[in-house]
Amino acid sequence: MRAMILLFATLFLALPALAGPLPDAIPGWRILHTPHDYRTLIARVDEAVAASPVNVVTRASATMGAKSLGKSIPGNMVVGVYGPGFAVRMLETSIAAGIEAPLRLYLTENADGTATLSYKLPSVVFRPYFEDGGEALEALAAELDGILAAIADRAAAP
């Protein structure tokens, strides 16, 4: 039994070393490998969101959380974006879809010093609620697809 516990503890501790970068493709995601370093990408995302019809409403950083534990991990942040008008329109179609707001942009630092910006397409995020929300929710999701694409393109541009 002791050997099993030691084996599981060793595997658990080794897991962070096994994690690699994001794959080049995940179904339903858009993944942009940028030429920017992590800190620059954060600033560029903030600028791109400020120029868009949505706002930054949440920010969570695993990097900062790890730092509070005395650990150091590559840059990793989730930025939640949404807007009150979009929230009202979404909730008018489907209360259940509200769990998906805000939409999230995922910023990750790469081993080569660059950073990646990725996100799930809003049309994929909201798809489970299309039967409930109908054409209005589908149209909102498509509009948000375009808004997130514009934010990502602007932030990732050289």
Give the single-character DSSP code of 101. Answer: P
Q: Which of 69, 70, 67, 42 is closest to 56 using CA atoms?
A: 42
DSSP for 116-137? Answer: EEEEE-HHHHSGGGHHHHHHHH
Whether the per-residue pLDDT at 112 is higher than 60: the answer is yes
Tell me the C-alpha distance between 55 and 158, whole Å. Answer: 23
How do residues 6-19 score in pLDDT, each as one tens digit?
A: 333 333 343 344 36
Instruction: Provide the pLDDT for residue 2.
Output: 53
pLDDT value at residue 19: 61
Per-residue tokens: 156: 């990732």
Model pTM?
0.87
Domains identified in the chain and CATH numbers: 2-156 (3.30.310.70)
Scanning the structure block, which residue is given the tokens 């920010």? Answer: 59
pLDDT of 7 reads: 34
Q: What is the mean pLDDT of the chain?
A: 90
